[in-house]
Amino acid sequence: MTPTASTLTVAIFLAGCLPAVAQKPILPDFHADPSAHERAGRYWIYPSHARPDSQDWDMVDWHVFSSTDLVRWADHGVIFSLKDIPWLRSGPGRRTR
């Protein structure tokens, strides 16, 4: 291997070891596990959403966001909530939120 090739190989290896740092989060608040889709030039993200005052994982609903340029995102609000599950709201040991 030539000195140039070995230097390039080491540089590529070291670059892969550096941590990736997000420059600008695209979603506000705490959202996780997004599902992303593209339809007719618009990108859609469907993430789960935790309560803003939660200290731990406490997912309560799902939102939908869309963008045409992957920079500016529109929040279309809640599309599904734990409140939409009737059996989850009542009975012993069930959540009551």
Q: Per residue in 17-56, pLDDT tens?
A: 666 565 667 777 777 788 899 999 999 999 988 877 777 7
The total domain count for the chain is 1
CB 61 within 8 A of CB 80: yes
**72, containing H or E segment:** none
Residue 52: count other Cβ atoms within 10 Å of its Cβ. Answer: 10
Phi, psi angles (nearest 5°) of residue 37? -145, 150
Instruction: Look at residue 45 and tell me if it is in a domain.
Output: yes
Q: Do residues 5 and 27 touch, judged by C-beta distance below 8 A?
A: no
Q: What SS3 class is residue 6?
A: helix
Structural domain contains residue 1: no
Reported pTM: 0.62
How large a percentage of the chain has pLDDT more than 90?
A: 25
In terms of residue numbers, what domain contains 78?
A: 24-97
